[in-house]
Structures are given as C-alpha cells and as structure tokens.
Chains A and B, each alone.
Chain A
Amino acid sequence: MNDIILELRGVKKSFGQTEVLMGIDLTVNRGEFITLLGPSGCGKTTTLRIISGLDMPDGGSIILEGRDVTYIEPDKRDVNMVFQNYALFPHMSVEENIGYGLKLKKRPRREISDEVEAALLLVQLEGYGKRRPNELSGGQRQRVAIARAIVNKPKILLLDEPLGALDLQLRRQMQIELKRLQKQLGITFIYITHDQEEALNMSDRVAVMREGRFEQIGSPAQIYDEPKTTFVAAFVGNANIIAGIAGESGDGNIAMLHSGGSVRAALRDKTVPHGQLLTLAIRSEQIEIARDSGQESGLRGIVKEKSFAGGMLRIAVELGSGEEIIVSRHGINSALKEGERVVLDWAPGDAVPVEDVGP
C-alpha cells in the first residue's frame, strides 16, 4: 500500500460560465513524480492553483496528509509552486529571492544564508547569489525559481510548465536535472506540461487531462502502450485512430472489419460485442507496410506522400474510405513510390481497442 500524501475529491471549478474542472479525483503518493498532461485550456493549471491555494474550488475537497486544506490560505499550506513565468521578485537579489520563504518563517539569519547557499549549490548556481533576476539567463532564472521553492522543504512541489520557455537543448538538460533533484530530495513533484515526451520521460505516473477531466491516469508505459481513449492515443502516442466494425477472427483476437479490408487486434481485458463499432489505436512505427499482392489480411490504400523528418520517413497512406494513416520507418529509403497500392497490417498485440471520445 502506498503512502498517500494528497487527495483531490470531486474538485470542481468554474470561471464565469466556463466549467474548467468537472469534479476531478486524484491521489498522489508520497515521493512520486506525477505529471498532469494535456493541451492548453484542459484545466491543468487550475488544478495546480487549487492545490496551492491560490484558487479556491467551487466544490469538492483537497486533503493534504490527511488534513482538509480546501479553504486554507496558500501561505498556510506546506506546498510550493514554481511558476510558469518564474515570478522572481525583480527588486531582490537571487539570495533574497531564495531566502524569502525562510525569512518569513523568522528563521535565524545565519541559518537562512546557509540554506540559501546549499540551495544555490543544489541548482548549480554557486556564486550567483548577489545577482538580480534580470541579470540571469532564462535557464538560470528557472533554477532560482526552483531553489526558491525547494529551500522551504515543501511536502509537495508544484511545477507549472517550468521548462516551457526554454529552448530544446536546455529543456532536455533541465529534465534530467529536475528528475535528479526530485530523487535526491525525495519531495513529491506535481508537474504540468503539454509535452508528451517530457511527461513520459520524467514521470512515475502521468494523468492525461482533457476538458476538465482526467482521461487516463497511469504509468508512462500504460499511457503509451495501453491508451484507454482515442484522445490519449492521439495526444500521447501520436497514434493513428481507425474505426470499423468488430467481428470474429477465430484466434482469440478480435477482427476489425473496415471498407479497406480486415485487421486484427488483441482484445486484452476488454469485451467488444460483434457487430459493434470498434475503434483501434495503432502507432505509426508499428504498422507494417507492403505492396498490394492480394494479401488476405490488412487494410488497402494508396501512398499519398512521403516526407523525412527527425530520422524517420513518414509515409501517408490514404485508405479507400478517405482516412489517412501515417506509417513511419527508420531511414530515408523506401522502395514504395507515391501512388502505389499498398496493404497495411500489424501484429494483433500492437493495436489497442480504445474508447472513441471524439476529436
């Protein structure tokens, strides 16, 4: 049994007429790195603000270490936040910024300067204490913002897209550093991002959010390999979504009948009645593509377009139904030409039946 540090129960929030959170439930374990992943406007920042106390929910409750903190002011919660724009105090030096929380707690001066020094060391900014925030680069400001929060030893650290403003290279580096910090300090991290790679890379668990609800909560592997819905499959795995009618396959799998042909998928623990609509998610790199030579199984289509990006060759195949399926391959060479008739197929275990939740 895991040690639960935070619990959200039926948390609701509206801004005017817009319902931002539609009663969400979430449990966070002590010491874990959990990421709220979703497109902008899905309610992830609002969730974080409600946990921090900067916003009050309209309904539901927030339990921090067994204590109901739903309507407790932000300064009375052992939770700290790293803001998206860093929100460093421009009129204070780096040291003063980091020591701000400790100073409010009336800790002795000597102690504060020691702790600040240690925090600077931890985020690799030794010697930058006397600088002003406007004399720092984006990455350095980011580190100060993190140091300012962790120096207070919060029970939970909330991070609102902390790497959003950094360039790709620095982002990768900071991802590794954040993960290292989290392990080193043992603080529970609740992290927000709209970058699926970042979420899968860093988290112990990922909670995929969409329109004020959690679509799926699970380990990165679960989210990536076993998406529950079309949204999770498309947003996290960049998977192709294809719909047909469920049918008998005779080998324990399920067959999907489609105007382009028939393909199989592993049922896993799901049951899909025959004759019902069946939606499958299949990632582009798991699709086998071959010239049409009268194969029995597979979906028929025509190669529409080939493009090369990020070391992968992307082949867009148009099915007879007009749906477009993306197939990707390593390397730049492919014998297939545009306009050629092809058959797409996959191992039944790679295709995942998902719940169609619309675009």
Chain B
Amino acid sequence: MTENTRKARGLRAIHLTVLPIYLTTLLFVVGPMAYMIALSFMTRAERWGVTAVFTIDNYINIFQPIYLNTFVQSIRLALLSTALIALFGYPFGYFMAKLSPKWRKAVSFLLIVPFWTSSLMRLYGWIIIFRANGTLDGILMGLGITGEPLRLLYTYPAVVVGMVYVLVPFMIFAVYSSAEKMDWSLVEAARDLGASRLQAFLTVSLKLTLPGLLSGVILTFIPSMGLFFIADILGGNKVVLVGSVIQEQLMRSRNWPFAAALAAMLMLMTTLFIYLYRKITKVKDLEGLL
C-alpha cells in the first residue's frame, strides 16, 4: 500500500465517523433553514398554506414603519438586557470561581434548579410578584417605602427584568468557566509587582476572563433578540417584539411567507450584530463558541 492510498483511506475513515454529524446538521439545521428561506420568497395562498409563486413582496413589507419599529424595539431591548445581564452576571460568575469547591457546587446547583421547571411557569411567578398589590407591592408598601401600588406589570421594566432573569445563568456560567480556569497566582504576581487590587483586576483578571464575558454576551444576545413570550407575558401588548410578530403571522394570520421573511430578517440582523461585535472585540477564542 502506498503512502497516498493509506492517507486517503485514513481520510475516508474520518469522514465516515463524522458522517452522522453531517447528516444531523443537514436534517435539523440546513434543511429547515433552506425551507424557511424558500418559504419567504413564496406567495400566500388564497385560503390555506402557500403557493410556489416567486415574490419579494414579503421583504418589502417588512419596511413598513409598523414592522421596522418592532425590529428597533427588539434590538433596543436585546442590547439593554444583554448589558444588564453582563453587569449582574459577570461579577457573579467571577466571584463564584473564588468560592470553595463546596460552595461552588451549591451555587451552581441553585442556578440549575430553576431549569427543571418550564421558564413559562417561572415567568408566571413574576406576574404574581409584579402585579398591582402583588408580592413586590406588598413588601414595599408594608415597609412604607411606597405609598401606592407601583403597577410594574405590563411595563417595559418588567420585560427587562424577565429577560435578565431568564438569561442571566448563561452569562454566569460562561464567565465562571473562564474565571475558574484562570491561574489566580497571576493576580498575586500582579499585586506583588505593585498593582492595587483594582489595577490587578483590570490588567490581569478582566483580560483573562474576557473570553467568558464575550461568549456570555453572545449566548444572551442571540436569544434575547428572539424571545417573544417574555414580552408577551410581562409586557402585555405594550412591548411588541419581532418574535411576537412572527408568532402572530405564523399562528394567527397564517401568513407563512411573511413570517418566514421576518424570521430570515431577524437572523440576518443577529448575524450582523455578532459580526460587528467580533470585529470590534477582535476575539478569536470565545470559550469554544463560534
């Protein structure tokens, strides 16, 4: 057997072992996506489903102010939520890595437990907390901090709180995983060489946990662009996001091609944002992401 045929055989063997991965990706990722994009260029049928008549009207429709506005709303909410998530999640994940192994286990267990319940159920819990004369009002009024109900439910802040609540664990774990890998003697070395606590954090710890933070941002930004049920449940009809419009077009109006076009647009926007984000942050290692 010559060297080349042996190599070729080896390659073939490698291809064979990864074949299931290709097939799964083809079946569950590429297929549906191609179907969706194809759908977005079709025409809605008179009564039911779609007819295979090519059109770009669906995309033109998106540029009506009413729909554009939902995109702007979605992006604004996603950016705000992601920023808040980073603000809460980063220190949480960072200090979690400094806990003793026993406490680390306990804390990550507590972070995982909520995932055993549907996030829908957990959001209903927030309704009980936020509604007028609900738990939050009860506490604040009981303590005499506020005199009357805050009426937080069905407001923008309620939606933001819901977003942060649902997505913050992803940020925490992303930051934790890079903070946990960090060699803490580097911080000691920085201190020894004359850095104050803050300087040591900024020049060493932050730099070394940045991949965790950056991948946490991606992990939370992508879903926060599309999550619609949080806005539906905690925002009433006041906060209308792209996700809600897609769902409405798909399930109620039965305008599948338009829903597909909206979804494709959302994907494009998200990809664009992540592209820009990677350009700006210049990260290569995103804790295995991307």
On chain A, the residues within 8 Å of B199 by CB distance are: 75, 104
On chain A, the residues within 8 Å of B185 by CB distance are: 83, 85, 87
A-B contacts, CB under 8 A, total: 57
On chain B, the residues within 8 Å of A73 by CB distance are: 191, 196
On chain B, the residues within 8 Å of A52 by CB distance are: 192
Contact B192 A54 (CB under 8 A): yes
Query: Does B62 count as interface, using CB distance less than 8 angstroms?
Result: no
On chain B, the residues within 8 Å of A270 by CB distance are: none
Contact B195 A104 (CB under 8 A): yes
Query: Does A91 count as interface, using CB distance less than 8 angstroms?
Result: yes
On chain A, the residues within 8 Å of B204 by CB distance are: 89
Query: Does B23 count as interface, using CB distance less than 8 angstroms?
Result: no
Contact A75 B189 (CB under 8 A): no
On chain B, the residues within 8 Å of A85 by CB distance are: 183, 185
Distance in angstroms between the alpha carbons of A87 and B189 in the assembled complex? 6
Contact residues of B between 167 and 216, Cβ < 8 Å to A:
183, 185-186, 188-196, 199, 203-204, 207-208
Distance in angstroms between the alpha carbons of A130 and B204 in the assembled complex? 19
B183, B192, B207, B208: the one contacting A74 at CB < 8 Å is B192
On chain B, the residues within 8 Å of A149 by CB distance are: 193
CB distance from A56 to the nearest CB of B (A): 13
Query: Does A101 count as interface, using CB distance less than 8 angstroms?
Result: yes
Which of chain B's residues has its CB closest to A80's CB? Answer: B192
Q: Is the interface of B mostly helix, strand, loop or mixed?
A: helix
On chain A, the residues within 8 Å of B183 by CB distance are: 85, 87
Query: Does A148 count as interface, using CB distance less than 8 angstroms?
Result: yes
Distance in angstroms between the alpha carbons of A245 and B195 in the assembled complex? 59
A74/B191 contact (C-beta < 8 A), A90-B208, A91-B208, A104-B199 known:
yes
On chain A, the residues within 8 Å of B208 by CB distance are: 90-91
Query: What does the 1/0 interface line of A80-116 toward B look like (CB < 8 Å)?
Result: 1101010111110000000011001100000000000
CB distance from B189 to the nearest CB of A (A): 4
Distance in angstroms between the alpha carbons of A81 and B190 in the assembled complex? 10
A54/B190 contact (C-beta < 8 A), A75-B196, A90-B208 known:
no
Q: Number of A interface residues, CB 8 Å?
A: 23
Query: Does A152 count as interface, using CB distance less than 8 angstroms?
Result: yes
Distance in angstroms between the alpha carbons of A81 and B191 in the assembled complex? 10
On chain B, the residues within 8 Å of A53 by CB distance are: 191-192
Distance in angstroms between the alpha carbons of A149 and B188 in the assembled complex? 13
Query: What does the 1/0 interface line of A40-84 toward B look like (CB < 8 Å)?
Result: 000000000000111000000000000000000111000111010
Contact residues of A between 251 and 306, Cβ < 8 Å to B:
none
On chain A, the residues within 8 Å of B203 by CB distance are: 100
Query: What does the 1/0 interface line of A20-58 toward B look like (CB < 8 Å)?
Result: 000000000000000000000000000000001110000
Distance in angstroms between the alpha carbons of A270 and B208 in the assembled complex? 59
Distance in angstroms between the alpha carbons of A88 and B183 in the assembled complex? 10
Distance in angstroms between the alpha carbons of A124 and B185 in the assembled complex? 26
On chain B, the residues within 8 Å of A83 by CB distance are: 185, 188-189
On chain B, the residues within 8 Å of A88 by CB distance are: 189
Those 9 A-B pairs whose CB atoms lie nearest each other, nearest first: A87-B189, A101-B193, A104-B194, A87-B185, A74-B191, A75-B194, A81-B192, A91-B207, A101-B194
Query: Could you list 13 examples of A-B contacts with CB < 8 Å?
Result: A53-B191, A75-B195, A75-B199, A80-B192, A85-B185, A87-B183, A87-B185, A89-B186, A89-B190, A90-B186, A90-B208, A91-B208, A100-B195
